[in-house]
Amino acid sequence: MKIIVTGGAGFIGSNFIFYMFKEHKNYQIVCIDKLTYAGNLSTLKPLSNNVNFKFIRADITDRNLIYQIFESEKPDVIVNFAAESHVDRSIENPSIFLNSNIIGTSVLMDACRKFGGIRFHQVSTDEVYGDLPLNQPDLLFTEDTPIHANSPYSCSKASADLLVMAYHRTYSLPTTISRCSNNYGPYQFPEKLIPLMIVNALQDKMLPVYGQGVNVRDWLYVEDHCKAIDLIIHKGKIGEIYNIGGHNEMKNIDIVKLICFYLKKPESLIEYVTDRKGHDLRYAINPEKIYSTLGWFPETTFSDGIQRTIQWYLDNGKWWKEILSGDYRKITEI
């Protein structure tokens, strides 16, 4: 089996590549990544001597290059992680999100059509469903919840999902889509809530909490997400959408306080700052479908996962300090 993993120098994509080599030692994986600010090639360094792994720097919107890569690599499966992924950046500058997240997805699917016989998996997000109220805890997102995206980021992901469904219906492209809740774990870029708070706390810097910190996210350890995608590309039904989430809803402020507790840092570092524009209140996934049809369930409790994540950032200061200094961007090959 040969898999092209796009966006594999980012957070979830790199964890997915490591997971797949652990589970399927003989698979071949080609990672395509543009190496935007969010891509960090030092993450993939442990694979530099693996003959079953190849890294190609490419932009998924570059049609000619993507076609060339598909022609020479002849993949069986594409797993598309490549995307601009940070909501705050999408609020500042939507256009790059539209280009990478929508046009990029269509170029990859066109390549699948051109070369034929290639299964396409789109890594999407629960944010396509919009948000849920804070005062109705029984309401959860199912796969039938209407799309109601609110930020430029989530609109770009929702648009890509619609295109994936259209390519399946119109061209019979063998597609699947997964919509996952918030991930956390090793190698997450320190602009997202959990790694930002850990890295700031370790430097005794302020911890900026948007609004009152009451917004709720449904947190999943990244390896559990990887396991779900592995199941979907092997056993998922073509044309289907699968929600992935761990029934682990938490308020932002509680997470930040927990990080202070584990790092033995004072809560006085917490600073309430101006809220995110259009800030989604609550996300919560109903994962019943993937549980009942594919037998997936999250294995890592939040208590274990957050302690492992904090320990990882403590043990891997070099990784995040190279990001803070900008040195990571000098690494362009492994």
Sorted by sequence, the CB contacts under 8 Å of residue 95 that are 6+ apart come out as none
- Residue 60 touching ligand NAD (CB under 6 A): yes
Sorted by sequence, the CB contacts under 8 Å of residue 38 that are 6+ apart come out as 10, 11, 84, 85, 86, 189
Active-site residue, 275 included: no
Question: C-beta of 86: minimal distance to ligand DAU in Å?
Answer: 5
DSSP letter, residue 101: I
- Residue 123 touching ligand NAD (CB under 6 A): yes
CB of 151 or CB of 200, closer to ligand NAD = 151
- Residue 110: strand, helix, or coil: helix
DSSP letter, residue 7: T
Closest CA to 87 of 37, 134, 142, 155: 155
- Residue 82 touching ligand NAD (CB under 6 A): yes
Site string for ligand NAD, 4-43 (x = CB under 6 A): --xx-xxxxx-------------------xxxx-xx----
Read off the amino acid at residue 171.
Y
Q: For residue 220, list its beta bridge partners.
A: 183
Among 215, 243, 248, 286, binds ligand DAU (CB under 6 A): 215
CB of 126 or CB of 224, closer to ligand DAU = 126
Q: In the range 186-245, which residues lie near ligand NAD by CB under 6 A?
A: 189
Active-site residue, 271 included: no
Active-site residue, 204 included: no
DSSP letter, residue 29: E
Closest CA to 226 of 8, 76, 1, 25: 8
Which of 19, 129, 153, 187 is flagged as catalytic?
153
Question: C-beta of 43: minimal distance to ligand NAD in Å?
Answer: 9
Q: Yes or no: say if 78 and 119 are a contact pair by the CB < 8 Å rule.
A: yes
Question: C-beta of 103: minimal distance to ligand NAD in Å?
Answer: 9
Question: C-beta of 169: minimal distance to ligand NAD in Å?
Answer: 22
Number of alpha carbons in the 13 Å side-chain half-sphere of residue 108: 35
Question: C-beta of 122: minimal distance to ligand DAU in Å?
Answer: 13
Question: Which phi and psi angles does 216 have, rounded to 5°?
Answer: -115, 135
Question: C-beta of 333: minimal distance to ligand DAU in Å?
Answer: 27
Strands (E), 7-148: 28-33, 53-57, 77-80, 119-125
Pairing state between β 249-251 and 119-125: unpaired
With CB under 5 to 8 Å by kind, the binding choice for 60 among ligand DAU, ligand NAD, none is: ligand NAD
- Residue 161 touching ligand NAD (CB under 6 A): no
Task: Compute the chain's Rg from CA coordinates.
Answer: 19
- Residue 84 touching ligand DAU (CB under 6 A): no
Angle between the 317-325 and 193-202 helix axes, to the nearest 10 degrees? 90
With CB under 5 to 8 Å by kind, the binding choice for 217 among ligand NAD, ligand DAU, none is: ligand DAU
- Residue 86 touching ligand DAU (CB under 6 A): yes
Which of 84, 126, 223, 249 is flagged as catalytic?
126
Q: For residue 80, list its beta bridge partners.
A: 6, 122
Interaction site with ligand DAU (CB under 6 A): 85-87, 125-127, 181-182, 192-193, 196, 208-210, 215, 217, 252, 276, 283
Binding site for ligand NAD (CB under 6 A): 6-7, 9-13, 33-36, 38-39, 59-61, 81-85, 100, 104, 123, 125, 157, 180, 182-183, 189
Q: Which residues are catalytic?
A: 126-127, 153
